[in-house]
Structure 1
Amino acid sequence: MRLATFNLLHGRSPADGVVCPDRLRDAVAGLDADVLALQEVDHSQPRSGLVDQTALVADAAGARDALFVPALVGTPGQRWRAAGPDESPDGEPTYGIGLVSRYPVARWLRLPLGTSRATLPLLVDARRPALVRDEPRVALAAVLEAPAPVGTVVATHLAFTPGVNVLQLVRLARAVEHLPGPVVILGDLNMPGPVPGAVLRGFRSLARAATFPTERPRVQFDHVLAGAGAPTVHDARAVPTAVSDHRALVVELS
């Protein structure tokens, strides 16, 4: 079973700033992931050609099931509002997270994680700092049908505000502890290397590799965390692609 998490940067290339659906399709196909967690995903956004990026990724990956969950309605960096729990991605531009799976999904769960009210200076495209308002954060859990090698996979993108992201991760772990195991959490957690594994009792990190920025990665923001009973890791690596300022993190389980 090959798991991957990929912050898409809405499909934008760091080389030329262009959003090209074919580049995104090729990048995802090259990962050959059975389960792929997505962050910074556009749905019906003019900046990305009004594409449903989760559906595009699912098609490229040969996924059987896929779901997009909006975190906000509008466009990051411009005007937006928090997406409601029953918000439909149809109609207005939305932005959030997605999960695609070649394994059949028995049940989906949307898990709100809250947000911070912080506006902090962040590196945009790993080159220039800008003041950025933090966004609402959600997680998406998929309970896989037996006999999948793991019971539940969870995609998320946590706050960039230090401390708030830790609280969100703990909240998420508590929310999924009753779901069929082993449970695997995948996503851009906005925490460096060893921190997530140290925060969560009962979970272990399945990969240690720098994922950001993609050209010369110096820090690991993207993680795959597994609960008790997860299969052995056969291989783990950060994979550069032609899109995004993050590398995809890929873990292959024996």
Structure 2
Amino acid sequence: MRLVTFNILHGRSLRDGQVDTGRLAEAVRRLDPDVLALQEVDRAQARSHHADLTEVAATAMGAVDQRFVPALAGTPGAAWARPSDPDDPGSAAYGVSLLSRYPATAWRVLHLPWVARGFPLLRRFPTRFGMHHEEPRAAVIGRFETPDGPLTVATTHLTFVPGLAHLQLLRLRRALADVAGPVVLMGDLNLAGRQPELVTGYRSLGRRPTMPAGRPARQIDHVLLRGRLGRVRAVENPEQELSDHRPLVVELGPRQG
């Protein structure tokens, strides 16, 4: 089983500043995931040619089930609002996606704590001080029938605001607490090193730097496990032709016992 998490920067390349859906599809084909978690995903946005990037990735990997969950409706950095419930599948949105070659038996959407009003913030990467207007954050949880039995997978993109990211991760941990069987949590958690393990009690399946893409120095993209799966065979962070992150790839052998 190949588990992949990738913050795709809405498919944009830092080399030419362009969004090329063919380039995204080729990256997904090369990564060859069985379960794929994507963050910073566009749907019907002008900047990404009004494409459904989840559908582009699903076709490329041969997914049998997929779910896009908007964190916001509209365009990040411009006019946006919290998404309506239920979501309008034809409207412009931005969020996270979970895709699988295994059939899904259940889906769940979780909206995470956020701060609706602007507040002063000192950012570290890059270092600057100013008013910050936080975007809503969401998680999608899927339960899949795999050759090794049922597997629950969650993905999210947490805030970079100190403290608030920990609160969001705790909320996600509570939501998964009663789930039976193995649980994988993967995504851009905006927390470096072992912080996600310490907050969740899960264990990391792969330690590789993922940010910045050209010369990665720190890991903020994670694949974490609660419970038992197969042995880790390989961990990779291959550079792609898009995004400011590298994907994190974890390959697992068959489940033992």
**TM-score clears 0.5:** yes
Report the alpha carbon displacement of residue 189 of structure 1 after superposing the two structures with TM: 0.2
With over 3 angstroms needed to count, the CA separation of the structure-2 counterparts of 1:119 and 1:21, relative to structure 1, is: farther
Tell me how far 1:134 sits from its aligned partner.
Answer: 2.0
Query: Which residue of 2 is the match for residue 44 of structure 1?
Result: 44
Corresponding position of 1:225: 224
Could you tell me which amino acid in structure 2 is paired with residue 107 of structure 1? A
2:178 aligned residue = 178
Offset, 1:114: 2.1
Number of aligned positions between the proteins: 250
CA RMSD of aligned residues (A): 1.9
Taking the TM superposition and a 5 Å limit, the aligned residue runs for 1:201-212 are 201=201, 203-212=202-211
5 Å-filtered alignment, 1:37-186, equals 37-90=37-90, 92-117=91-116, 118=119, 120=121, 133-148=133-148, 151-186=151-186
How much does 1:17 deviate?
0.5
Query: What is the Cα deviation at residue 200 of structure 1?
Result: 1.5
Give 5+ residue unaligned stretches, structure 1. none
User: Could you tell me the TM-score, scaled by structure 1's length?
Assistant: 0.92
Q: CA deviation at 1:150?
A: 5.4
Displacement of 1:159 in angstroms is 1.1
| Corresponding residue number in structure 1 for 2:194 | 194
Could you tell me how far apart the structure 2 residues matched to 1:10 and 1:119 are? 27
Q: Which letter does structure 2 place at the counterpart of 1:182?
A: P
Distance 2:226 2:120 in 1: 33
SS, match of residue 114 in structure 1: coil
Give the TM-score taking structure 2 as reference length.
0.91
What amino acid is the match of 1:26? E
Cα distance change, pair 129–27 in 1 and its aligned pair in 2 (3 A): farther
Structure 2 contact 158–165 (Cα < 8 Å) conserved: yes
CA shift in 2, pair 1:17/1:23, >3 Å: same
Q: Indicate conservation of the 8 Å contact 2:4/2:248, yes or no.
A: yes
SS at match of 2:187: strand
Q: Which moved more, 1:51-60 or 1:146-155?
A: 146-155
Contiguous gaps of at least 5 residues in structure 2: none
Conserved? CA contact 1:212–1:220, under 8 Å:
yes
